[in-house]
Amino acid sequence: MPIDKFVKLESTCVPVPIENVDTDQIIPARFLKATTRDGFGDNLFADWRYDKSGNPKEDFVLNDPTYSGKILVASQNFGSGSSREHAAWAIAGYGFKAVVSSFFADIFKNNSLNNGLLPVQVSKEFLEELFQAIEKDPATKVEIDLENQKITLQPNGSSESFEINPYKKKCMLNGFDDIDYLLNISNEIATWEKANS
């Protein structure tokens, strides 16, 4: 599946200041019965977002019209637990292009990158600054510049650089996916198989 290119993003943010958000919260298991990648966005954070009869819970941020945007700002240790890629599909399906946190679980990070959703890991201090700025003014815009690996809080220009594996960066900038890469070295894999069988 070719992924969307990601070069630069400027957007308002949706804050979810809860630590240790696991993939069961991002998309509960009962929604994993689908056999396509579509439609998971509707059930993103389902148990926090809807009550038992399926009505939106007013106090949850996704139901609060004050906040919108393409950047999800999350707390420490985001995406732990199950390996379900459905979590990344749900976040991307909802319309987010990037997730910012001070710490990501490994598999979630991989899954996101494989779906054109950029995980941006920042310091605890910068994250705190982001949360405060968004709380003070929900219209606050943040810029994520992948080429220069830089995230900037636009109102005051406060910024921080973030890490990304150079190979993954190239994939995101160009919209390549890993499978294309591996299919291209098929002969090399065959040679290895022969030598190691």
Asked if 192 is part of the footprint of another protein (rule: CB under 8 A), the reply reads: yes
Which one, of 129, 110, 128, lies nearest residue 119 by Cα?
110
Binding to another protein (CB under 8 A) within 33-62 occurs at 33-37, 47, 52
How far apart, in Å, are the Cα atoms of 1 and each of 8, 61, 158, 180? 21, 31, 36, 9
Judged by CB under 8 A, which stretch of 75-83, 129-137, 140-148, 155-163 contacts another protein? Answer: 75-83
Judged by CB under 8 A, which stretch of 59-67, 143-151, 152-160, 163-171 contacts another protein? Answer: 163-171
- Tokens 């030598």 correspond to what residue? 195
Nearer to another protein, 7 or 189 (CB): 189
Kindly report the CA angle at 102 between 100 and 106, in degrees rounded to 5? 85
Q: How far is the CB of 66 from another protein (least distance, A)?
A: 20
> From edge to edge, which strands make up the β-sheet containing 71-74?
13-16, 71-74, 98-101, 118-121
What DSSP designation does 30 have? G
- List interacting residues with another protein (CB under 8 A): 1, 17-20, 22, 24-25, 28-30, 32-37, 47, 52, 76-77, 80-86, 88, 103, 105-107, 110-111, 114-115, 124, 165-168, 177-179, 181-183, 185-186, 188-189, 192-193, 196
